[in-house]
């Protein structure tokens, strides 16, 4: 793992110091006793340790799925098919844990699998919930909460893909809390519609939130104001579940309506309907849940680092099982890069010794600032991250803002190359 983390995005041959190390990594990937489950179990222990060190009792557990596409690798067994079997790849569903303020702490669970197109083509309602692909949400929520200290609580956060009755009911039965974006205008016990009913409520207040950059539409990061309404009601069990007599009961929850008051010119306003089973009686409580949902996009940044930073889709391996291990290894590295990026933003004045030892920060200071003189005390976390970003090509101009994860991993790659050379010269 240490070798791979020195150069995210490089091949095994490029990252290895010699042929022997490359062979050792290859043996690791093909070792049947080292699988995704025991690697994740070991990493999960470290994630929980970091969570405990924050002193927080509530954490956001954000789930999402991404496709890792490897092109048309016909000779690589164990991959699923996409786009009418022209593209081969794997699906990755992760749970990223955050503090309520949005500091990524790491992964609590990850599921990697190859999609079976024949199975997916079968009529969904004919299969038990546990055999459907969307069972990944329940499986991941339960695995993420397993072994959690008694004084910690997870709030499960998901986008519209997570809005299906079986998942919400299971979370309720397991005494788990959630904030899920609604995809369906569900029917209430009074034969109304949840979206329609909440929109009839008076505006409880407004909240200013930061909206991440939308690269597809060319919209930069911005702040906007959302008007908030909320309503607690009971929704009916969907008709298809009633027909199956699956044993589900009506679900009491609160729906929050958040809509942008001043949308961008020529753009539709941001509008979210959020389901939660947490008690909401005040504007402050509703605003808190909206702010938690806004943090969901951090898992998209995690996927971005995994694909664009670690370049996981360029990795080569003999079969799908080895690619699964590589995905997990680089997922851990991507989560660490994400943590470092936001740690420097939230705790800029903390000493850099939180992330590097004395030898590392001294070498970094010398090469980043081209000086032999060292400061009397270790630099701050912000100063060291800026130094790493500088090595990655970050100019640090007045309007540049904070360095992102991608430029940061480029800086880490450059620093590791120099640092290894420096140690050999000693």
| Structure tokens, 57 | 């009792």
CATH number for the segment(s) 35-343: 3.90.350.10
Residue percentage of the chain with pLDDT more than 70 = 87
171-229 pLDDT tens trace: 999 999 999 999 999 999 999 999 999 999 999 999 999 988 777 777 788 899 999 99
Region of residue 264 (left: phi > 0; alpha: psi -120 to 50; beta: else): beta
The reported pLDDT for the residue numbered 403 is: 85
The reported pLDDT for the residue numbered 127 is: 77
* Number of H-type helices and E-type strands within the chain: 15, 10
CA-CA distance, 205 to 294, in Å (whole number)?
A: 17
CATH number for the segment(s) 347-425: 1.10.740.10
286 within 8 A of 198, measured Cβ to Cβ: no
323 within 8 A of 90, measured Cβ to Cβ: yes
The reported pLDDT for the residue numbered 124 is: 57
CA-CA distance, 90 to 139, in Å (whole number)?
A: 18
The reported pLDDT for the residue numbered 416 is: 83
- Smallest CA-to-CA distance from 148 within 252, 44, 38 is with 44
CA-CA distance, 44 to 146, in Å (whole number)?
A: 11
Is the pTM higher than 0.85? yes
CA-CA distance, 145 to 43, in Å (whole number)?
A: 15
Stretches where the chain sits below pLDDT 70 are 1-33, 73-74, 83-85, 117-126, 423-426
Q: Where are the domains of the chain?
A: 35-343, 347-425
């Amino acid at each position: 793992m240490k070798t791979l983390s020195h150069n995210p995005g490089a091949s095994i041959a490029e990252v290895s110091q010699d042929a022997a190390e490359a062979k050792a990594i290859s043996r690791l990937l093909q070792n049947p006793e080292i699988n995704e489950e025991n690697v994740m179990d070991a990493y999960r222990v470290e994630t929980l340790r970091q969570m405990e060190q924050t002193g927080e009792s509530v954490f956001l557990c954000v789930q999402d799925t991404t496709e890792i596409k490897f092109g048309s690798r016909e000779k690589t067994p164990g991959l699923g098919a996409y786009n009418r079997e022209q593209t081969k790849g794997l699906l990755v569903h992760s749970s990223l844990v955050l503090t309520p303020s949005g500091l990524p702490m790491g992964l609590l669970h990850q599921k990697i699998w190859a999609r079976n197109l024949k199975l997916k083509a079968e009529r969904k309602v004919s299969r038990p919930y546990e055999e459907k692909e969307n069972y990944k949400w329940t499986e991941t929520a339960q695995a993420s909460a397993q072994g959690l200290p008694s004084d910690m609580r997870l709030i499960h956060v998901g986008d519209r893909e997570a809005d299906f009755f079986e998942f919400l009911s299971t979370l309720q039965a397991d005494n788990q809390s959630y904030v899920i974006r609604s995809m369906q205008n569900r029917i209430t016990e009074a034969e109304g519609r949840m979206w329609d009913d909440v929109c009839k409520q008076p505006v409880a207040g407004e909240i200013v939130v930061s909206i991440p950059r939308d690269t597809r539409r060319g919209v930069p990061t911005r702040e906007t104001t959302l008007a908030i309404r909320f309503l607690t009601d009971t929704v009916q069990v969907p008709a298809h579940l009633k027909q199956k007599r699956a044993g589900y009961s009506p679900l009491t929850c609160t729906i929050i309506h958040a809509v942008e008051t001043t949308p961008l010119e020529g753009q539709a306003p941001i509008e979210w309907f959020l389901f939660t089973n947490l008690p909401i009686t005040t504007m402050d409580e509703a605003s808190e849940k909206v702010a938690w949902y806004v943090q969901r996009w951090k898992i998209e940044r995690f996927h971005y680092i995994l694909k664009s930073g670690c370049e996981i889709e360029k990795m080569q391996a003999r079969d799908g099982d080895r690619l699964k291990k590589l995905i997990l290894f680089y997922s851990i590295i991507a989560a660490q890069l994400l943590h470092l990026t936001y740690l420097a933003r939230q705790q800029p004045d903390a000493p850099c010794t939180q992330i590097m030892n004395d030898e590392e920060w001294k070498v970094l200071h010398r090469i980043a600032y081209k000086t032999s003189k060292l400061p009397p005390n270790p630099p701050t976390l912000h100063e060291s991250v800026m130094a790493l970003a500088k090595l990655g090509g970050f100019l640090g101009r007045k309007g540049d803002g904070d360095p992102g994860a991608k430029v940061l991993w480029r800086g880490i790659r450059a620093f590791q190359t120099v640092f290894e050379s420096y140690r050999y010269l000693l």
